[in-house]
């Protein structure tokens, strides 16, 4: 995986964004937060609760760029992101990034009846969850779901998590493709 690309001026793309603010949807620890770190290791990641707020921050100039998921190899297109790219004039795709994704179901000891996570993560895990009669419950992002499960300490609730961030377990994975948008 390449984390830099050359601009027309010959400056490394990641150098060009050193120290700037890069928006993502979610809380610290969310997939998109990890993608910001992978693409722009020296940038300041700024999380937003929704894709709309992420796009609005970029359009208004509150951030310099945004890292956004656009497609997953097992769950398909992230439709809201695609729609917002068309809806907001003046924004453009300036970079693409492909990131491996591996999920694990985390929770408290005992059987799990509900799984909290971002709708894309739940879609990626649908076959597994369905085969075990675990009900999917949408949450604003994977990291937020993990925090909620940890804080609420409710038995029978788990959440789909990113393997490299939360556990060393191995499992089937997929890849997510994301774009960096700029003004």
Does the pLDDT at position 12 exceed 50? no
Q: What is the pLDDT of residues 75-118, one digit of tens each?
A: 778 888 989 988 887 888 888 888 777 777 877 777 888 888 88
Confidence label for 169 from pLDDT (cuts 50, 70 and 90):
very low
The position carrying tokens 């937060």 is 33
Does the pLDDT at position 171 exceed 50? no
Give ranges for CATH 3.40.190.10 in the chain.
13-100+174-182, 103-170
Q: Are 175 and 72 in contact (CB under 8 A)?
A: yes
Residues across the chain: 183
Confidence label for 48 from pLDDT (cuts 50, 70 and 90):
very high
DSSP letters, 123-183, are HHTHHHHHHTTPEEEE-S-HHHHHHHHHHH--TTEEEEEEHHHH------EEEEEEEEEE-
CATH code at 13-100+174-182: 3.40.190.10
CATH code at 103-170: 3.40.190.10
């Amino acid at each position: 995986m390449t984390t830099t690309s050359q601009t027309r001026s010959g400056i490394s793309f990641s150098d060009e964004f050193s120290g700037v603010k890069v928006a993502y949807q979610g809380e610290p620890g969310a997939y998109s937060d990890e993608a910001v770190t992978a693409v722009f290791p020296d940038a300041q990641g700024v999380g937003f609760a929704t894709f709309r707020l992420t796009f609005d921050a970029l359009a208004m100039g509150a951030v310099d760029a945004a890292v956004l998921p656009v497609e997953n190899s097992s769950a398909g297109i992230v439709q809201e992101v695609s729609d917002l790219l068309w809806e907001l004039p003046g924004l453009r795709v300036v970079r693409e990034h492909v990131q491996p994704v591996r999920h694990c179901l985390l929770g408290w000891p005992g059987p799990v009846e509900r799984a909290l996570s971002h709708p894309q993560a739940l879609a990626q895990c649908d076959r597994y969850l369905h085969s075990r009669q675990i009900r999917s419950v949408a949450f604003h992002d994977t990291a937020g779901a993990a925090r909620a499960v940890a804080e609420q300490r409710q038995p029978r609730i788990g959440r789909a998590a990113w393997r490299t961030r939360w556990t060393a377990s191995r499992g089937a994975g997929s890849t997510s493709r994301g774009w960096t948008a700029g003004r």
